[in-house]
A = this chain, B = another copy of it.
């Protein structure tokens, strides 16, 4: 038996167990490679990967150290007596190898893989292997198996609600935060919409980052249910809800590796939305030369795939294919986007028209999930809810219920204006360029960083007009972003 010790190290995914090289219980000389162990003593065995400590200052020979992830999982106080046994690689890794060899896996095999991932029996390496293998070839039937396995058994129960709505956008369009506006409209209408959003891990701004500018987003399932019952809407952090645990683990590996395939994203969104108890889901696939989906043909293929898997899983899905060729709204970056969102909700004259229209279109589609609404009326009703201020009211109630954000929205203090070098009309704005520029400004790390567009496609400009302004919160980011701009590129195509 060893004495449990918490080594407060966060490793971002894996359970790590530390033992001293002179551990009297386990003979270290025999450890030549990453070793998988099972720790006994808690209510259930905890799986972890072994690392060797050579200093008694960090860990005594009679102690077993656990990193923060594993310590949380074992749920025992420090000093508890625990034992460890070597454990073979997760049995379902055989299926991963079968997938690598090009086989079609069964529903049972996907269940076993996902169960082992949830139990943290897969190393990040193992998960990456699975993702690459499944990413290179997966049948619609397999995708269904994967989505069902990811959903898991713990599904949020919305009681007597017949429709629980949500929306997901497959692929980033810079600036687009229609998510927040449509949630307010749908809630104002009275349909329950427990919108789940995820903090971005890849540098661009997510709806979670933007909402965090306005309100707290870390609710648990109980608070979420109470809020939606009372206010009809919520915009909350998926990470903090205890549902679909394997999906979170896999998503983190994907983000670290940039390995997300569209198929995996489809399985992930259907699984997590269903685990959140959503019955009616609108999926927006923006198509553009620099978005995740580049052609209408590809979007159509994905639509069919989503419809197939959705139907088989018994969730109502409505898939819309939209234009993702240019940024939507003026601001790119959490604070700027939150400003745009509130301008639209407040019916300000200088609110971005494209963001407003996109939000109304999507909200209208969701409203039409309601059988009581006459076909084609969704958009009109949505517009009325926005115009009358009811959507703003709904958002204010959501913000109040979730708790107003503590920090004030503050834009980065380092700014630079990029101006037109000629007269003309904006013909095109390069999505990818603007998006990358925002990341360089620090938008993924600092909410106040980003790009604010003063002109959009179709606007007339005179030489010297400001096209956009960049904001950074520190010199490093600002210098990086400036370098990109120094060579004369602006991402704007100005013609006659």
Contact = CB atoms under 8 A, between A and B. Distances in A.
A381 to B, nearest CB: 38
Contacts of A93: 257-258
Contact of A102 (B30, B58, B126, B136): B136
A253 B18 CA distance: 20
A9 B7 CA distance: 12
B51 A12 contact: yes
A348 B207 CA distance: 78
A351 interface: no
Contacts of A53: 8-9
Interface string A1-42: 000000111111100001000000001001011100000000
B257 A126 contact: yes
A68 B100 CA distance: 33
A34 B13 contact: yes
A55 interface: yes
B100 A136 contact: yes
Interface stretch (A127-135, A265-273, A391-399): A127-135
A77 interface: no
Contacts of A126: 128, 257
A207 B280 CA distance: 62
Interface in A38-68: 51-55, 58, 68
Contacts of A255: 33
Contact of A32 (B9, B89, B135, B199): B199
Contacts of A201: 32-33
Interface string A124-149: 11111101110110000000000000
Given A93-B258, A258-B97, A51 B9 contact: yes
Contacts of A101: 136
A92 interface: no
B33 A252 contact: yes
Interface in A176-213: 199, 201
A123 interface: yes
A463 interface: no
A106 interface: no
A256 interface: yes
A435 interface: no
Interface string A447-481: 00000000000000000000000000000000000
20 contacts: A8-B53, A9-B53, A11-B51, A12-B34, A12-B51, A13-B34, A27-B445, A34-B252, A89-B258, A93-B257, A93-B258, A100-B135, A100-B259, A102-B136, A125-B127, A125-B253, A125-B256, A125-B257, A129-B131, A132-B132
The 8 tightest CB contacts between A and B, nearest first, are A8-B54, A132-B132, A125-B128, A10-B52, A30-B445, A34-B256, A8-B55, A124-B125
